[in-house]
Amino acid sequence: MHSEQSRIQDVVVGLTEHLTQRASQDTPDPHNQRREVQAVYAETVNSFKLFYQAAIEGGFSQSRLLTQLLNGLSDVAGLNDYQTEAMIFNTRFQQHPFAIALCESTLEVQFIYKLAIKYNLPIRVRAGGHDHEGECSGSNTILIDVSRIKHFSYDPSTEVATIGAGYRFYQLTRKLVDCGRMIAHGTCATVGLTGYIQGGGWGPWTRKYGMCCEYLVAATVVLGNGEVVKVSESCEPDILWALRGGGGMSWGIVTELQVKTFELPDEIHRFEVVWNALSKPKKGRYTPLCQKPTLEILKAWEEVIEATDTPDLLGTNLKINAIAKDAENSALPYDELHHPCTMYGYWQGTEQAMRDFIDQAFGPTKSNVAKPKITCTKVGGKVKPKGKAKASSTPVYSYDHTLLSNWARESLADQDVPLHQDLQQHKQAFTPDYDAPAPHKITSKLVEHKGLSEKGYQQLLMSLTSPLLQADNPSVGLFSYVTLGAIVGDFYNNLKEESKALGVSFPYRDCLYTIQYQTWWNESVKDKLELQNNAVYVDTNRAMDWIAASRSTEIDGAYGAFISFKDASIPTPVYFQQNYERLVEIKKSYIKDDYNHLRTRKTII
């Protein structure tokens, strides 16, 4: 009996020891956990080495497959090719891809993409690099850069241009002008056409010709399984519909676009009308002149864009600078606030007709003591033969890149003077800098077809009068403002599609205009060399807080958000509204991306 009890006791002790040992094994060891994660990363690094070796052995040029360790000298002293190619437009983000593949053809894109998914490596795709949230690149990824795919042709019988995915506007417009044609491009010269058209494509031609996505007739795309397809209204029309404003990357890697063009006008002017420019009556403090209340300017501009008798106003936006809320303006009602305002306009016709239009729309400017500042530049049109030379049977056109630059932000070229005071000194519009890369943050809304209510006007103007901003921000190169981009105009007023028409996935056709909140810290070159020791950084945190507050501000009569003005904090369905569910189904059904390799933070899935 005693021996039986002893044996039972020995078993119990053994079981206790076993259970204790197992429990101790189940208890997490932070050091081992860290090592397990590192082991996964080590596997990824090894996969990249295999990818790189396979890419070179497969014939991809080593000089165009850049890594942190394997790269060449650049033309920037102190930087190698990898470091220069890694920079994107929003310099607030600094990404470190495993490799940057500078592809020159659809075949090369297909090759690099298939290798990346074979070795289970994440990818990013970059054309112009203007994604405001930096999603065109990413650390520990294979960055497929299509900016070197630059073939171009024009078919006069169809009026369609075939355009390689690498073109930026300042490069593309030259090609189109030689043909006497144009597309509905944007306002920033260095934006790439591919991402622009997938975002919808707002720009200086929108009132007259609509969003650029309206003109996409075909595209060559590398799908999620690496298959290359050419989509059109007769072949994979659902994918074409999604490419027309459904956001970038979700629908594959675009390597070629076919875009319907239109004839250039005989004469084109770009103009700016400036009210309430900042002045400096007190040391270190800029305050707007009180020429005209902001609300009056805004309502007059709205009347202009909604008018049905202004066909020569091809496009326009209105910039309203945010101001600091302080003791001097906090007690003012919203309809007595004065913000610096600039109307940017793109005019088809003579300068005199343009000035008559401004007088009619905003009141006579010749005798008004508090008149706004107006500048005008002829930026394009037919070139008249000189002297006695006979006119050619084929018209020759000019097209100045001034119209593409500095539509809505102060640039490095303008840092020595606050805001628009240089317009008083120069007949020419702003000196173009092709919108140099700079750190910034953006968010957006759109105004419904019915427009803002009176409450909505109050909410908008109060969001632009903020204690989060400092009165001296402009003097150190920190700018916060909204740009209101006109959508309504001849094109959408007269749009009558057949019930079977493919249409576009851009969901805001019937809106009046966009509201784009922006904050930029555009330091001068001197300040950039001072790195962290310059005054512009003192107030950037509060300016970023202002963007966050603006994002959550309710504006009666406004809704949604514009994917081209990307803010990763906004839920993806908000960007695509009534078209979101259909876009999800297209991604699942037609893109052949079972493992969702074609993904970033704001892709459809």
pLDDT of residue 458: 98
Would you state the structure tokens that stand for residue 161, as one six-digit string? Answer: 């241009």
pLDDT at 22: 65
Q: Residue 19, exposed/middle/buried by CB under 10 A (0-12, 13-18, 19+)?
A: exposed
Per-residue pLDDT at 278: 83
**Can you give the pLDDT at residue 297?**
96
Is residue 356 within a helix (H) or strand (E), and if so which, with residue range? Answer: helix 351-362
Q: CA–CA separation, 232 vs 428, rounded Å?
A: 43
What percent of the chain clears pLDDT 90, i.e. is strictly above it?
70
Instruction: Please check whether residue 202 is in contact with residue 514, taking contact to mean a CB–CB distance below 8 angstroms.
Output: yes
Per-residue pLDDT, 437: 87
Quote the tokens at residue 423: 């317009």
432 contacts 405 by C-beta, under 8 angstroms: yes
H/E/C letters for each residue in 32-53? HHHHHHHHHHHHHHHHHHHHHH
Tell me how far apart the alpha carbons of residues 32 and 273 are, in angstroms, rounded to a whole number: 65
> Per residue in 511-523, pLDDT tens?
999 999 999 986 6
Looking at residue 6, its pLDDT comes to: 77
Question: Measured between alpha carbons, how far is 521 from 57 in angstroms, rounded to an integer?
Answer: 44
- Predicted local distance difference test score (pLDDT) of residue 432: 41
Q: What domains appear along the chain, each with residue ranges and CATH number?
A: 1-21+30-148 (3.30.43.10), 152-263+578-591 (3.30.465.10), 268-377+438-570 (3.40.462.20)
DSSP 18: H
419: left (phi over 0), alpha (psi -120 to 50) or beta: left
Q: Determine contact, residues 362/291, Cβ cutoff 8 Å.
A: no
Tell me how far apart the alpha carbons of residues 63 and 102 are, in angstroms, rounded to a whole number: 9
Kindly state the tokens that stand for 348. 């088809």
The reported pLDDT for the residue numbered 282 is: 60
Task: Collect all residues with Cβ–Cβ distance below 8 Å to 18 and sequence separation of at least 6.
Answer: none
> CA-CA distance, 468 to 471, in Å (whole number)?
10
Low pLDDT (below 70) residues in the chain = 1-2, 4-5, 8, 15, 18-27, 280-285, 364-370, 387-392, 402-403, 405-435, 522-529
Quick one: tokens of 437?
């890369």
Give residue 587's region: left, alpha or beta (phi > 0; psi -120 to 50).
alpha
Whole-number pLDDT of residue 76: 85
* Cα–Cα distance for residue pair 476/415, rounded to 1 Å: 9
∠ CA 312-313-316, rounded to 5°: 165
Residue 291 sits at the vertex; the CA angle it makes with 471 and 404, to the nearest 5 degrees, is 75
Phi, psi (degrees; rounded to nearest 5) at 198: -75, -25
Residue type, 302: E
pLDDT at site 73: 86
Residue entry with tokens 């396979």? 54
Distance between the two ends of the chain, CA-based, in angstroms? Answer: 70
